[in-house]
């Protein structure tokens, strides 16, 4: 008589053969000597198997939000912040043909009270696009633009993202651009990077920094000052334009704007001096053709970022590195000029349809917590391309300073 293990093996083999033939044939069950009740159960499962096998694999991490591509709305602008009480708040906006991004953009806000294990939507806001979450004096803020190339806007929550103030417009004019980029504080002022894009063909971004006293009313336009706008310099040895700048405090204490350079793996460094920006040059930066976020680690005295390097093994990297977003790498630097890939966090073999991009993140003790605009399989056909993400996902990179973990399969990644 066949053992239970042998019967199970024979059932699995027969079931796989039936599915390969594209039809369900429950007659094989009669040969496996199961009791009648078990045979009926297994017959039902076998009939369902062709449909069950079509379920899409889940994306890595914890799904915060999902929007099927068939809705015509794609998930963009992930941001994440840790509240003073330890809860996490994350946000994203919608872009795409059915999103309303060019008129009155929509941003959703979520909160987790269990360190990212589960999430609950707390708000849906209009006139909020390309926005980042940040905390000043225990209040939570969301700052970006009103829509695609809209006016600069900000709003405040005093209850951890449950309710929000009305939109405060910080500029009377439009044509502004940004992303969920970091806020930094230096000598009692907070700083944030933006770009201005004049009407016309894409690719003529002008960089500038905004700043305000950290104890000012940040909802008032009068609290903010702006540097003059700086176009991409003709003296740059390569590249055509820059965008999505990071305000960063340099090792010498100066305030920098470090920007993505379109379609080359470099970053541009601008230095603020007396309310003027000055081009310092380009540096090699794996993933510099896509949006990145740089933050300073006081414990290690290093700068860290999560970026999307365009790896040489993908032919697309040579022709269009800005579109290669299927690899997420943890990088660090001591001086903001020399960057080192510490390890690969996430990767997929297909750069055309998969992406872990525009990642925003925060230090959380020995860990990094991150929110990703993720393009991955779903039960509705997946995204049309990597750029048009269908998920907002949460990730925890455990013991990120450790050298011992090297891949997404290790236990350091949630």
What does the pLDDT look like over 150-181, one tens digit per residue? 999 999 999 999 999 999 999 999 999 999 99
Give the mean model confidence (pLDDT) for residues 92-107.
Answer: 97
Query: What is the pLDDT, as a whole number, of residue 55?
Result: 86
What pLDDT is stored for residue 278 in this prediction? 98
Report the residue count for the chain.
414
Give residue 165's pLDDT.
98
Tokens read off for 153:
């806007």
Per-residue confidence band for 413, with pLDDT thresholds at 50, 70 and 90: low
The larger pLDDT score, comparing residue 144 to residue 235, is at 144
In this predicted structure, the answer to whether residue 24 has a pLDDT above a threshold of 80 is: no
Question: Strands 255-261, 242-249: parallel, antiparallel or unpaired by DSSP?
Answer: antiparallel
Query: With pLDDT > 90 as the criterion, what percentage of the chain qualifies?
Result: 84
pLDDT at 259: 98
Residue ranges of alpha helices (H) inside 58-118 are none
Q: Of 172, 175, 126, nearest to 148 (Cα)?
A: 175
Q: What is the pLDDT of residue 5?
A: 33
Q: Does domain 64-397 have CATH number 1.10.1060.10?
A: no
pLDDT computed for residue 37 by the predictor: 66
Q: How far is CA 190 from CA 132, 248, 279, in A?
A: 14, 11, 21
Q: Confidence class of residue 52 from pLDDT cuts 50, 70 and 90?
A: low
pLDDT reported for residue 31 = 42
Does position 39 have pLDDT exceeding 90, yes or no?
no
Whether 87 contacts 120, CB under 8 Å: no
Share of the chain above pLDDT 70, in %: 84
């Amino acid at each position: 008589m066949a053992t239970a293990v042998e019967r199970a093996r024979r059932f699995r083999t027969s079931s796989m053969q039936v599915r390969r033939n594209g039809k369900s044939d429950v007659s094989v069950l009669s040969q496996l000597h199961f009791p009648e009740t078990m045979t009926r159960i297994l017959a039902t499962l076998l009939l369902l198997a062709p449909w069950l096998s079509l379920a899409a694999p889940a994306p890595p991490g914890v799904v915060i939000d999902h929007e099927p591509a068939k809705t015509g709305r794609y998930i963009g602008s992930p941001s994440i912040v840790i509240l003073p009480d330890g809860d996490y708040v994350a946000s994203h906006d919608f872009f795409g043909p059915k999103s309303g991004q060019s008129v009155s953009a929509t941003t959703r806000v979520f909160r987790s009270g269990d360190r990212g294990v589960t999430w609950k939507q707390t708000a849906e806001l209009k006139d909020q696009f390309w926005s980042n979450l940040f905390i000043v004096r225990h209040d939570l803020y969301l700052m970006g633009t009103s829509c695609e190339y809209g006016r600069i806007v900000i709003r405040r929550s005093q209850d951890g993202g449950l309710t929000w103030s009305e939109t405060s417009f910080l500029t009377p004019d439009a044509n502004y651009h940004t992303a969920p980029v970091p806020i930094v504080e230096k000598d009692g002022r907070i700083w944030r990077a933006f770009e201005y894009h004049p009407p016309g063909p894409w690719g003529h971004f002008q960089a500038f920094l905004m700043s305000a006293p950290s104890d000012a009313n940040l909802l008032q336009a009068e609290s903010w000052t702006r540097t003059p706008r700086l176009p991409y310099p003709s003296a740059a040895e390569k590249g055509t334009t820059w965008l999505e700048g990071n305000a960063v405090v340099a090792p010498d204490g100066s305030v920098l704007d470090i920007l993505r350079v379109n379609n080359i793996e470099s970053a541009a460094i601008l230095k603020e001096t007396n309310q003027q920006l000055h081009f310092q040059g380009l540096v090699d930066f794996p993933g510099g053709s896509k949006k990145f976020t740089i933050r300073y680690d006081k414990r290690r005295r290093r700068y860290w970022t999560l970026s999307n390097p365009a790896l040489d093994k993908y032919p697309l990297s040579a022709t269009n590195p800005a579109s290669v977003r299927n690899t997420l790498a943890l990088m660090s630097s001591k001086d903001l000029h020399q960057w080192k890939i510490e390890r690969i966090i996430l990767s997929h073999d297909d750069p055309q349809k998969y992406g872990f991009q525009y990642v925003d993140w925060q230090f959380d003790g020995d860990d990094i917590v991150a929110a990703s605009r993720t393009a991955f399989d779903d039960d509705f056909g997946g995204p049309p391309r990597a750029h048009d993400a269908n998920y907002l996902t949460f990730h925890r990179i455990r013991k990120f300073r450790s050298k011992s973990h090297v891949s997404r399969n290790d236990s350091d990644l949630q």
